[in-house]
């Protein structure tokens, strides 16, 4: 060696410990002394370094014999080494921090009726308790602000439904210090439950309990949610007004606590434990961590080899998945040996090598010897816990002869999330059904479609095909647990038909929920919304969903009483008719919120039970299901789940169905509704829905089939097929005449965005994992509504990530729904741009979708081969091989492109 001699190498090696193959705890240091410039977005840089790549004796002692011989040969030739490349990459990763939220309820002051709720959190962050209460005289589950005497110092109100209290470092009675919020209250207050979530003021992230709000009941209170804290022990602090209300609602002959266990929205007696309780709930948060990766390349002309050294400060075991390439195509291949220790073949075109830990324990390193016939070194990193790190969304590419690093997309054969089998496959005869349907669809030629008179005919034929498919599927479901995926026709008309008889619209609908949980409070909502009709039309909405119009025990309208009395807290019947007319004038169709599952009675029977109805539909207790223990119905057993706050209607009774069909038809004619949003359809069979829709002939109909997703120990399961199957089953029971809100997609989006698990957005077959992946024309997608968000906040979408959710549903198949609170907020401009993009590119509920990436930190897809999108912090850009893509939208962790 002329520039750097062997003596210098040996001198340097004196400070470098030898590495023995039998131990991973010691290793040689690479010996670099260089100044680096951080790599950003694929840009390359170079810097000089003085020390040798590796000490010769260290190499001989620490690597296999073949690799050692290479180094010794180079030293003997006294060859001049060339520094070809050096770079330091910035690595950004997320780290999960586990912790606990503790909830203690116990005696507070000296008085017998003084109590204290203490909420503690051991997660790092600047935490705020976002909380509210449920009062004893309110059987709904929405939040209210607590009385002033309950609010700790520093508490500030949030709108009119909640307050926020900062956590403070407090010395507890046991002498330990903890971040806590302490809420003092008296048994004489009328609060029935305290609800809360935690918010990190620094990052804006939220911590919930099993995906929902924490709920601490203070009386005999049980709700359908699994987020009750302290319910396992059971307690009652005082009898009070709420206890009396519980007894009144539960008074029914023959009913027991066992019968009511697990029922939704139910109040019941549980045992008394005046000592209160203490409970810990496991929670976590994601934090970003910065690390570095240094890469150095030297060349040797004697043995015609390159030496690549990797060094990183990443903690724990780091595995390098690597290969080499011969040209700019960057196709991975495995080089001939010698290979580093701890190397094995990974599939057919890559190797994986465990990096060696540094002596100081702060990171790891590796050395790779390569023939000079190769032009590039490709790799990605796999960390402890099976997470991956890449370079701006692609593989790391190191040019061996000098130059800038260039990223390329992951090779699907190298890195892919393992897929789980679905179990039973669809049996052969279903393929025959699909082939017949495709043949029918193929008979609708583009030439025929050009004739104006046949457009409507063609569309109706497609609808009939869908109904036939639904009927065939209904038969099939009795024999198999598999699902029938919707077949997308290439002959789908590009414009809405003149008239559609089905309840699924044209396929191009964009739905606006035209109210929130507080809209009733002004008493003039219809007139207020009337002023916004033109604005909603200008934003691009084609359908608006209005709140329940009938007289109701609850002001929000979901406890209907006299169905023909349309004077509600939102306005009177004439104001409603004016509003509907206004929407029609601006080109927006109107959905009425029809509550068909239950109805509140006007009168009591001889036993004091409220089960006799008044008004035009003066039913008696035969109209109530027999298996609801609270209302002594004399009808048949329920065909669904009971809603215990009001009598559940027996839809198997012919007089009930006749009256409801007449009522729906009257609303269509008298008010001008174009369709329905159907409340709580879990409560009755979908076949009855078909009967109602066949009679009322809505333009569009959507059912609220909402039940819990699958969780294990508080964490969402990877596979949610059982959940979306239940929704599919309900749609199928309606014979495909109605769609359903895609609750599965909303739930999976929660976990994907909250926990940086974007891989969840692709199922085992590479399709969207919600209802939209199986039956897109019946999937009505949403991220928030009056129940999940607003002032109720039952299942609030991850804070600050709403636009990622809208970037997903407004570019994807299905019928997207936008919540009122988001429309009239700072999100309006971004939402409007996404709607415009959807309309401009004619994205429909049946549009095709190709998922391009579904990894830890990024999800990307192409829709109809003309719109590309990505959400998440990871890198993605649509490939140029598909054409010229133009980025048209960008926001916080999302981008959208159009094909030019």
* Residues labelled as active-site residues: 679, 704
Cα Rg of the chain (Å, integer): 32
Beta strands in 547-648 (DSSP E): 589-594, 603-604, 610-612
Preceding omega of 338 cis (within 30 degrees of 0): yes
Question: What number of other Cβ atoms are within 10 A of residue 225's Cβ?
Answer: 20
For the purposes of burial, counting CB atoms within 10 Å of the CB of 261, is it exposed (0-12), middle (13-18) or buried (19 or more)?
exposed
489 close to 446: Cβ distance less than 8 angstroms: no
Distance CA 863, CA 898 (A): 10
Distance CA 873, CA 628 (A): 49
Query: Hey, is 311 helix, strand or coil?
Result: strand
Across the strands, what pairs with 191?
A: 135
- The number of CA neighbours under 13 Å toward the Cβ of 274 is 6
Nearest to 834 by CA among 744, 757, 898, 748: 898
Cβ-based neighbours of 571, under 8 Å, separated by 6 or more: 523, 524, 525, 526, 527, 579
For 466-490, b/e burial (b = at least 16 CB within 10 A) is: bebbbebbbebbeeeebbbbbeebe
Distance CA 234, CA 224 (A): 15
Structure tokens that stand for 416 in this block = 């892919």
Distance CA 829, CA 424 (A): 46
Structure tokens that stand for 856 in this block = 């830890």
SS (H, E, C) 807-834: HHHCCCCCEEEEEHHHHCCCCHHHHHHH
Cβ-based neighbours of 269, under 8 Å, separated by 6 or more: 220, 236, 246, 247, 250, 257
629 close to 260: Cβ distance less than 8 angstroms: yes
Distance CA 476, CA 468 (A): 12
218 close to 192: Cβ distance less than 8 angstroms: yes
Nearest to 582 by CA among 547, 546, 533: 533
Torsion angles phi and psi, residue 889, rounded to 5? -140, 145
Nearest to 848 by CA among 492, 396, 353: 492
Distance CA 97, CA 110 (A): 38
876 close to 858: Cβ distance less than 8 angstroms: yes
Query: Hey, is 81 helix, strand or coil?
Result: coil
Taking every pair of Cα atoms in the chain, the longest distance, rounded to a whole number of angstroms, is 110
Nearest to 384 by CA among 414, 418, 357: 357
Distance CA 37, CA 39 (A): 6
The CA-based dihedral angle spanning residues 645, 651, 652, 658, taken in that order and rounded to the nearest 10 degrees: 150
Contacts of 124-127 spanning 24+ positions with Cβ under 8 A: 124/97, 124/287, 125/200, 125/201, 125/202, 125/203, 125/205, 125/285, 126/166, 126/200, 126/201, 126/202, 127/166, 127/167, 127/179, 127/198, 127/199, 127/200, 127/201
For 764-781, b/e burial (b = at least 16 CB within 10 A) is: eeebbbbbbbbbbbbbbb
């Amino acid at each position: 060696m002329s520039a750097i001699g062997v003596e210098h190498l040996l001198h340097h090696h004196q400070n470098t410990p030898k590495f023995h193959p039998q131990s991973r705890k010691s290793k040689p240091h690479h010996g670099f002394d260089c100044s680096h410039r951080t790599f950003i977005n694929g840009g390359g840089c170079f810097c000089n370094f003085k020390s040798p790549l590796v000490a010769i004796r260290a190499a001989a002692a620490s690597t296999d014999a073949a690799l050692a011989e290479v180094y010794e040969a180079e030293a003997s030739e006294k060859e001049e080494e060339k520094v070809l490349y050096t770079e330091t990459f910035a690595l950004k990763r997320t780290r999960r921090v586990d912790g606990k939220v503790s909830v203690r309820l116990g005696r507070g002051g000296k008085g017998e009726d003084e109590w204290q709720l203490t909420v503690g959190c051991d997660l790092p962050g600047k935490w705020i308790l976002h909380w509210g209460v449920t009062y004893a005289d309110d059987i709904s589950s929405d939040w209210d602000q607590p009385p002033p005497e309950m609010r700790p110092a520093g508490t500030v109100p949030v709108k009119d439904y909640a307050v926020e209290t900062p956590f403070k470092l407090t010395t507890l009675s046991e002498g330990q210090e903890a971040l806590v919020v302490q809420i003092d209250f008296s048994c004489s207050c009328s609060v029935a439950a305290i609800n809360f979530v935690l918010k990190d003021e620094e990052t804006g992230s939220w911590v919930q309990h099993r995906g929902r709000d924490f709920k601490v009941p203070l009386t005999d209170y049980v709700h359908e949610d699994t987020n009750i804290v302290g319910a396992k022990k059971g307690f009652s602090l005082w009898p009070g007004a709420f206890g009396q209300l519980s007894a009144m609602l539960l008074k029914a002959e023959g009913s027991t606590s066992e019968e009511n266990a697990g029922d939704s929205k139910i109040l019941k007696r549980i045992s008394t434990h005046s000592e209160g309780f203490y409970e810990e709930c496991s929670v976590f948060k994601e934090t970003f961590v910065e690390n570095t990766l240094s890469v150095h390349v030297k060349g040797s002309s004697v043995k015609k080899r390159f030496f690549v050294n990797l060094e990183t400060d990443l903690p724990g075991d780091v595995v390098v998945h690597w290969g080499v390439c011969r040209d700019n195509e960057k196709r991975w291949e495995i080089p001939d040996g010698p290979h580093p220790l701890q190397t094995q073949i990974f599939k057919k075109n890559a190797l994986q090598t465990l990096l060696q830990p540094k002596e100081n324990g702060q990171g790891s390193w590796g050395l790779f010897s390569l023939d000079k016939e190769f032009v590039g070194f490709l790799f990605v990193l796999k960390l402890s816990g099976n997470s991956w790190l890449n370079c701006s969304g692609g593989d790391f590419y190191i040019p061996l002869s000098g130059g800038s690093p260039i990223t390329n997309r992951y090779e699907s054969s190298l890195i892919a999330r393992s897929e789980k089998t679905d179990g039973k496959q669809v049996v052969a005869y279903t393929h025959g059904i699909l082939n017949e349907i495709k043949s029918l669809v193929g008979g609708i030629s583009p030439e025929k479609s050009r004739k104006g008179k046949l457009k409507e005919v063609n569309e109706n034929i497609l609808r009939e095909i869908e109904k036939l498919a639904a009927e065939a599927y209904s038969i099939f479901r009795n024999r198999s647990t598999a699902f029938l995926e919707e077949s997308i026709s290439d002959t789908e008309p590009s414009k809405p038909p003149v008239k559609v008889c089905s309840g699924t619209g044209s396929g191009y609908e964009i739905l606006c929920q035209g109210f929130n949980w507080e809209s009733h409070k002004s008493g003039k909502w219809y007139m207020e919304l009337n002023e916004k009709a033109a604005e909603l039309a200008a934003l691009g909405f084609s359908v608006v969903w209005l709140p329940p119009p009938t007289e109701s025990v609850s002001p929000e309208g979901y406890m209907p009483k006299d169905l023909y009395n349309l004077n509600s807290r939102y306005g009177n019947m004439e104001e409603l008719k004016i509003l509907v007319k206004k929407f029609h004038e601006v080109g927006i169709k109107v959905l009425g919120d029809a509550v068909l599952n239950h109805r509140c009675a006007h009168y009591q029977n001889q036993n004091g039970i409220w089960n006799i109805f008044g008004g035009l539909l003066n039913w008696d207790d035969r109209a109530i299901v027999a298996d609801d223990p609270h209302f002594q119905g004399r009808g048949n057993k329920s065909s669904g789940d009971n809603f215990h706050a009001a009598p559940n209607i027996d839809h198997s009774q012919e007089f009930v169905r006749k009256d409801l069909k007449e009522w729906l038809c009257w609303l269509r004619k008298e008010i001008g509704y174009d369709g329905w949003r159907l409340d709580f359809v879990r409560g009755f069979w979908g076949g009855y829905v078909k009967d109602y829709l066949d009679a009322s002939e809505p333009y569009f109909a959507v059912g609220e089939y909402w039940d819990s997703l699958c969780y294990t120990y508080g964490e969402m399961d990877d596979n949610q097929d059982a959940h979306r199957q239940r929704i599919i089953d309900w749609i199928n029971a309606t014979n495909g005449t109605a769609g359903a809100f895609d609750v599965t997609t909303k739930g999976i989006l929660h976990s994907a965005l909250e926990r940086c698990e974007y891989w969840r957005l692709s199922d085992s077959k590479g399709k969207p994992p919600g209802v939209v992946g199986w039956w897109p024309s019946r999937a009505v997608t949403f991220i928030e509504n009056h129940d999940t968000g607003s002032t109720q906040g039952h299942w609030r979408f991850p804070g600050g990530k709403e636009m990622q959710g809208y970037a997903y549903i407004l570019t994807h198949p299905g019928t997207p729904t936008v919540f009122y609170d988001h429309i009239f907020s700072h999100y309006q401009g971004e939402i409007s741009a996404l709607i415009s993009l959807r309309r401009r590119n004619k994205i429909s509920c049946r549009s095709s979708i190709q998922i391009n990436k579904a990894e830890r930190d990024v999800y990307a897809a192409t829709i109809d081969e003309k719109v590309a999108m990505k959400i998440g912090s990871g890198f993605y850009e649509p490939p140029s091989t598909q054409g010229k893509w133009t980025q048209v939208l960008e926001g916080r962790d999302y981008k959208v492109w159009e094909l030019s």
